[in-house]
Structure 1
């Protein structure tokens, strides 16, 4: 197997504060919400640290419905999934904040 510069993403976890800039419901899964966000603050909780302030990134969350206005500032636990160039954050325990 050839060696690459690939980086292992999971397991990792960060606590973030971010601004959700765009929300779109997944056409395949009605409880999956695709997000565009800008991270304002990030605290590494475990594993490699992928969340950084000022980073604009794609994310998703699982919720029955999306009832928050956009843009909205939120706090969440964020796990980075995927490769170094085309990964996505999964946001859990997401709630609006000031």
Structure 2
């Protein structure tokens, strides 16, 4: 079973991702958060396999939250996939530098 946390400030996006992911029997969404700070807390509380992280959110953005997750030794096996509609090279480089496993 692949355990996933969704972090996005748009509830509709989280709902859509959850519906899509949960169509697959071996994926379960174990938590959701609407900003980077709550996302880091949710990841620490649930220890998912994968985090789907938005970049642009109020408060702590997805890049800073990704960095905090990756820098935490207790979360070393968590993979962060950053999702964004922004396709600039700077955003992609920032996500890689923060330690994301992938950017889409």
TM-score, length-scaled by structure 1: 0.26
Greater radius of gyration (CA): 1
Say which structure is richer in strand: 1
RCO greater where, 1 or 2, for CA within 8 Å and sep 6 or more?
A: 1
TM-score, length-scaled by structure 2: 0.25
